[in-house]
Amino acid sequence: MVISIAFLFCTLFARLFYLQIIQGSSLSTKAAEQWYRDLPLKAARGVIYDANGKILAENKDVYSVYVRPNAVTDIYEVASALSQNLGLSFDKLYDRISTERVSEITVKKAVDKETGERLRKLNLDGVYFTIDSKRNYPEGNLLSQIIGFTNIDSVGQSGLEGYYNKYLTGVDGFAYTETDIKGVEIDGAATKYVPGIPGCNITLTIDANIQSFAESAVMDAKVEWKSKSASMIVMDCTSGAIVAAAITPSYDLNDIPRDDINLLNALTKNTLIVDVYEPGSTFKTFTGAIALENGVSEKAMHYCKGYHMVDGQRIRCWKTIGHGSQSLTDGFKNSCNVVFMDLALSLGTERLYDGLQAFGFGQKTKVDFYGESAGIIMNESSVKTVDLARIGFGQAIAVTPLQMVTAFSAVVNGGTLYEPYFVESIDSYDGRNVFTHQKKVVRQVISEQTSEKMRDYLSVVVSEGSGKKAQVEGYSVGGKTGTAQKYGSSGVAQGKYVSSFIGAAPIDDPKYVVLMIVDEPGGYVYYGSMTATPYAGRVYAKIADYLGVSVQILAPTIEMPELTDVSLADAINIINELGLYYELVGEGTKVVSTIPVAGSMIPEGDVVLLRLG
């Protein structure tokens, strides 16, 4: 008997130990779930700032509306009030409250503050509210493809909002109230709150002022040239920091076209990072730098007769009548394809490819952004001599705009390739630093001596060559223009071009690298020197002014002569006598039209376009 009683007590003790110690926490939680009803309190998402502390993404207070069916005393009244104020179906809402066997119904989220306050004043039994936050972008469409957006639950979906979502997202809190077993709130029960923890704040490398300059430039270019799109990226070449990134067409981050998925995907794509294009003559910068680094003679002369025969194929220079005898300086200034074919062929495939890979082509830059493309570069073992010649002047290779601006930065900054980045620092809501970016050197690509020589060549392009429309008095600019045909599924897409300019300033001690791209400019004027270069010049003038440098774009001082029906030879003589430069469209021997038109006032040393027929 004693043994039986002892065994019974041991069994009871073991059971009590199991319930109170082993399962105590779990059972307490279940009890709380039965006796308390809680509502989520959404933690505020972190704020996104530009480099100067300007707010680019913040939060606005909104309401989430819930109904607890067991606590509703008048279903008709509740369904009527909510449907009228929230734009919902009365019948569907009435049916949900009447029939759904759940303790709580989420009626609507992201209700504006005014509507939420109006509903709260009605004191409807069984209707509950929480104050949440909705993303707000004070600058509207500024940086829309870069910042990205969130969904209705404030979860990052694209752009930096998506890439840095884990930092921007806070820890949610909740409010809970004691209820009976049916979920009806107990009279006099107090609601207790557990506040959320806000997400981290992010400071970008973007300067909103320079971004606004870039945004204006791409919008102007798209309108003026009726182009498919236009884009610009500005980089601090001493660190890899992305200072501005503008793409048009764009969209308002506060009015996202969520109901049209195709339009949404098109407008939100960051083409500066995701898409590739054939760079054309801007790529001659890298062929030249690699040649100099490998000891190719600067004094060697090249002869351009309008084409180069390679492997039995005639590869044309853009100037079909030829440039004649050309030094390397002339080659850069006149953007002569033949000169850079010669350089590529003298380097050979192995040395040229070693150089291109050192600049990062065919590789991702590892920028802090989703969806980056590595570009397209032919397998080295498959390169034929004719391919090598074309790569030399920017054909038969595809790059991303970000790769171009990153590699060009290395050309002008002394030869150092930096990893590009958008985020400068991340800080907790209470000001503790979580992360600060340290500029990352990828590799030394070329020597300081080669870089210095390249700066001289690029300076000549702007002061004397096709880049003259980028000139800014008082703020020295160096760069390279480019024009490339686009390709479709069946080969060359007739009449479709990508026009561009890439440059650095001040060229003697570079800080800002600008790449301007105009995709498919309308009409027959498509050269980068005319459709892209002027906008880079405008941005450089605004940057200089922003920095307190006294500058001005060169003033018009020459009247454009009447050259219509004049022979090409005579037209060239007239242009040369006026100190102007020219580019040609067509292959005739007589000028049929010009841009600008006769009588226009143009800058001294400007580039004009002669259409031949």
- Catalytic residue (choose from 281, 476, 499, 529): 281
Write the Ramachandran bin of 396: left for phi over 0, alpha for psi from -120 to 50, otherwise beta. Answer: left
Structure tokens at 87: 């734009």
**Based on the number of CB atoms within 10 Å of its own CB, is 233 exposed (0-12), middle (13-18) or buried (19 or more)?**
buried
**Is-catalytic flag, 281?**
yes
DSSP 471: -
Q: Which of 459, 600, 608, 585 is nearest to 524 (CA)?
A: 585
d(CA 163, CA 241): 17
**3-state SS class at 129:** strand
Q: Which of 256, 117, 230 is nearest to 521 (CA)?
A: 230
β-pair type (591-595, 173-178): unpaired
Phi and psi torsions of 22, nearest 5°? -70, -50
Q: Where are the beta strands (DSSP E) in 55-190?
A: 55-67, 105-112, 127-136, 173-178
Phi and psi torsions of 305, nearest 5°? -105, 20
Phi and psi torsions of 78, nearest 5°? -65, -50
Q: Containing H/E element for 435?
A: strand 433-436
C-alpha atoms less than 13 angstroms from C-alpha of 40 in its C-beta half-sphere: 14
**Based on the number of CB atoms within 10 Å of its own CB, is 223 exposed (0-12), middle (13-18) or buried (19 or more)?**
exposed
Residue with structure tokens 């160096």? 478
d(CA 446, CA 449): 8
423 forms bridges with which residues in the sheet? 204
Q: Concatenated DSSP letters for 336-396?
A: -HHHHHHHHHHHHHHHHHHHHHHHTTTS----SSTT----EE--GGG--HHHHHHHHTT-S
Residue with structure tokens 């090249």? 302
Q: Return the amino acid letter for 22.
A: I
Structure tokens at 284: 């001659």
Residue with structure tokens 């369904």? 79
- Alpha-carbon separation of residue 219 from 215, 262, 470, 544 (angstroms): 6, 22, 18, 21
d(CA 478, CA 507): 5
Contact 109, 61 (CB under 8 A): no
d(CA 543, CA 549): 9
**3-state SS class at 38:** strand
Q: Which of 84, 45, 82 is nearest to 64 (CA)?
A: 82
d(CA 296, CA 155): 54
Q: Which of 512, 530, 597, 521 is nearest to 562 (CA)?
A: 597
Residue 186: how many CB atoms within 10 A of its CB? 11
d(CA 362, CA 371): 15
List the catalytic residues. 281
